[in-house]
Amino acid sequence: MSRKISEEEYKRQRIVRMKHWLSGEKDLYLDNMEVIPREEYKPDRKQLERYEHDLDEVMTRTYDTEHNRVYRFFQRFYKMAAVLCCTVLVLILIVEVSYLPPIGSASNPASNEVAAKYIEDGLQDTGAVNIVTGMILDYRAFDTFGESNVLFIATCTVLILMRNDKKKGKGSAEDEERRDSFYEPKKDVILQMAARILVPVIMLFGVYIILNGHLSPGGGFSGGAIIGAGLILYLNAFGFEKTERFFTEKTYKAVSFGALLFYCLAKSYSFYTGAHHLESGIPLGTPGAIISSGLILPLNICVGLVVACTMYAFFALFRKGGF
């Protein structure tokens, strides 16, 4: 049962007016709004002074550190809490260390059959005299591949953060570099002379460490870091114009991609052959010779190239936002 209402009453209902407003026929507020004329602003001097006085009072009370009891309590509390936390942490660590087995003891959990196997069969399995390199580039070669990739990804991240894409004008890479090294001595004779003598020696030492990674201490990572340090010294002494003759972004890309790709192809065959078939089929050669121990030497060179390029790229990106 519905109650009939008149046409006028129906039109005055809120829902109908809403409908009209939505369809844009009539603005409900257009003529019905009451606008109160604003009074002219007169600054009340007395009131303003009172406000300022109150504000001053609050500020002085807040920052009155000598008479504020809560503030002083927390000042002391933070100091005591810091000392307490440090002491407890140090105590926990010292107690923990006192329960560790002594260094070099034969009954340590670390000296189990894995370490014994590496030491006994390492030379036969890998052909490397330096057992550390044999471990990280033969038994654990896949871990080292991950490490090289981490370095590469780190360079990509620095590239995203520091890259300066402007070619010319204000704020470009060259301008940035010029502004950055404005107060530096240009073409410093002492530095150039020292670099001229030191850089070849450093480079040779790095190459020696990389190539002898399977015979003597060192390997791809340390040798690459040394070569990178040599490149940075050369860059600092002679500037970007000289280094760009042999090292640009294209060189970096080609060397890094090539080295990582070779490493990946050389070691990820085990994805297809299964973990049990890890022999590469390359003869191991006589232990002690430079060309021996199968894939370790080329893998060392790959890691060294990636690390050297990464070190140099880090420095160049930090310096001017490009290569």
Partner 1 sequence: MAVFEYILMGFLVICAISVSFSRNLLNSILIFMSYSLVMSIIWILLESPDLAITEAAVGAGVTSVLFFVTLKKIHALGEEDEETDE
Q: Which residues bind partner 1 (CB under 8 A)?
A: 130, 132-133, 180, 209, 217-219, 221-222, 225-226, 228-229, 232, 311, 314-315, 318-319
Of 104 and 274, CB closest to partner 1: 104
Minimum distance between the CB of residue 152 and partner 1, rounded to whole angstroms?
Answer: 16
Minimum distance between the CB of residue 130 and partner 1, rounded to whole angstroms?
Answer: 8
Of 209 and 299, CB closest to partner 1: 209
Tokens 């890998």 correspond to what residue?
A: 126
Gap between the Cα atoms of 141 and 146, Å rounded? 9
Of 227 and 302, CB closest to partner 1: 227
Of 95 and 161, CB closest to partner 1: 161
Minimum distance between the CB of residue 315 and partner 1, rounded to whole angstroms?
Answer: 6
Of 85 and 282, CB closest to partner 1: 85
Token couple for 255: 């060397």
Of 146 and 283, CB closest to partner 1: 146
Gap between the Cα atoms of 208 and 60, Å rounded? 70
Minimum distance between the CB of residue 206 and partner 1, rounded to whole angstroms?
Answer: 8
Tokens 């007169």 correspond to what residue?
A: 42
Residue 288 φ/ψ region, left for φ over 0, alpha for ψ in the -120 to 50 degree band, beta for the rest: left
Query: Nearest CA to 190 among 240, 232, 237?
Result: 237
Minimum distance between the CB of residue 132 and partner 1, rounded to whole angstroms?
Answer: 5
Gap between the Cα atoms of 188 and 239, Å rounded? 11
The runs of H, that is alpha helices, within the chain are 7-12, 14-23, 45-63, 69-98, 113-126, 131-134, 141-162, 173-180, 189-211, 220-238, 240-243, 249-267, 270-273, 296-320
Minimum distance between the CB of residue 229 and partner 1, rounded to whole angstroms?
Answer: 4
Minimum distance between the CB of residue 93 and partner 1, rounded to whole angstroms?
Answer: 14
DSSP states along 202-230? HHHHHHHHHHTTTTSS--HHHHHHHHHHH
> Distance of alpha carbon 204 from its chain centroid, rounded?
30
Of 60 and 216, CB closest to partner 1: 216
